[in-house]
Structure 1
Amino acid sequence: MNKTFLSLLFLCLLYSPMLEAKKIKKLQIGDRFPKMEGELLSSKKITLPNHCEGKVTLLIAAFKRGTQDQIDSWTRPILFEFSQEEEFRFIEIPMISNFYSWISNYINNGMRNGIISSMHKNVMTYYGSLDEYFNYFGVEDRKLCYLFLLNKKGEICYMNKGESSSNEIKTLIHDIRILLEE
């Protein structure tokens, strides 16, 4: 009995550092955006942040359908300011549970029909586990959108969530301009 207990204790001690290493930390300024695979509504499969390298990129992830007004509060002024800038990229990411992957074509086609075709290259659907991204993004409220500004190396330079304010937009525009000059 003692041998069994000691063996079990040894295995627990051996594997506990491995379990701890899998803990996902909340993203911080300066971190590289985590790997995420998805498909643009233009039907191109991409991997983030690789798809963004060489461009200043604004990513906005949303876990609920009702966040579009929040997303638009960021994107309208930013796209007005930078849509003609070749070194700038914007991607909206609907984060959809893997549970719905069996109807992904139906969901994606519905989004394609509701979004003007020129914006299809700016919407990437993600189907998969959401838990690690809840941890990465520090999600406390799934009803908020989560915004990340990446430099040309895919590193996070600015983060925010929810609806924008005029001061936050001014800060974001300023930060994008600085990154575009680098």
Structure 2
Amino acid sequence: MKKVLFSSLIIFLININNGKAQVGLQFPTMEAETLTNEFVNLPTDIGGKYSLVGLAFSKKAEDYLKGWFEPVYNQFIYKNPNPGPFDFSFDVNTYFVPMFTGAKRPAYKKVMNKLKKTIDKRMQPNILFYKGTLKEYKEALNFDGKDLPYFYVLDPEGKIVYTTSGRFTQRKMQEITDAVRSAMELE
């Protein structure tokens, strides 16, 4: 019980320090399309697993989002066929979501087709495209800068347990990893 309370307190304090008031709230419903033209409904389709969702709603934010691809792939997606005794394997859904809103909506298919040709095949199942309005996500998720990507760790029911934003840094990646690990250990 002490371990549960301590872990919860750590996650709470980290998020208070990050100013992320949305922790504990339900991630808003979002329908997005994969590079294989299948539709995924977040958080409904997360299949009872922890999930990491990265959102970008500007070209600059998308460029920063791409900087997260390799480290997130290595940490959460890649499954080592010969794991060592100290390897920790995560069973986490991971999604990167470029958001096409407003005047960018007509570019949706063009960008999607370009990415189908340029994104590493191993990452393609993890790229989702959203086309629609931004207002409800901006309000629900507390976006405060359009040129940043935003990341949300969701529990198996779709509640937000951790958030961060911005360019990739090793510190942010470690905080995400710690949040996922702590949340999974609480189960």
Aligned with residue 177 of structure 1, among 167, 178, 181:
181
Larger radius of gyration: 1
3-state SS, counterpart of residue 39 of structure 1 = strand
Distance 1:116 1:106, change over 3 A: same
Q: How many angstroms does 1:168 deviate by?
A: 2.4
Q: Unaligned 5+ residue runs, structure 1?
A: 1-25
Q: CA deviation at 1:101?
A: 4.2
Tell me the C-alpha RMSD between the 2 structures: 2.2
Aligned residue for 1:156? 160
- Residues 167 and 118 (structure 1), Cα distance of their counterparts in 2 relative to 1, 3 Å cut: closer
Query: Aligned match of 1:167 in 162, 165, 171?
Result: 171
SS in 2 for 1:152: coil
Q: 1:78 to 1:108 in 2, by over 3 A?
A: closer
For residues 28-47 of structure 1, what are the structure 2 equivalents within 5 Å?
Answer: 28-47=22-41
Q: Are positions 1:122 and 2:126 aligned together?
A: yes
TM-score (structure 2 length as normaliser): 0.74
Deviations 1:35-54 (A, max 9, x none): 00111112111110011131
Unaligned runs of 5+ residues in structure 2 are 1-19, 80-88
Q: How has the CA–CA distance of structure 1 residues 38 and 177 changed in structure 2, closer, same or farther, with 3 Å as cutoff?
A: same
Who is 2:136 aligned against? Answer: 132
How many residue pairs get aligned? The number is 157
Query: 1:96 corresponds to which residue?
Result: 100
Any runs of at least 4 consecutive aligned residues in structure 1 with deviations exceeding 6 A, and if so which?
none
Q: Is the 8 A contact 1:54 1:87 kept in 2?
A: no
* Percent identical: 26
Q: How has the CA–CA distance of structure 1 residues 43 and 114 changed in structure 2, closer, same or farther, with 3 Å as cutoff? A: same
Are 1:108 and 2:102 counterparts?
A: no
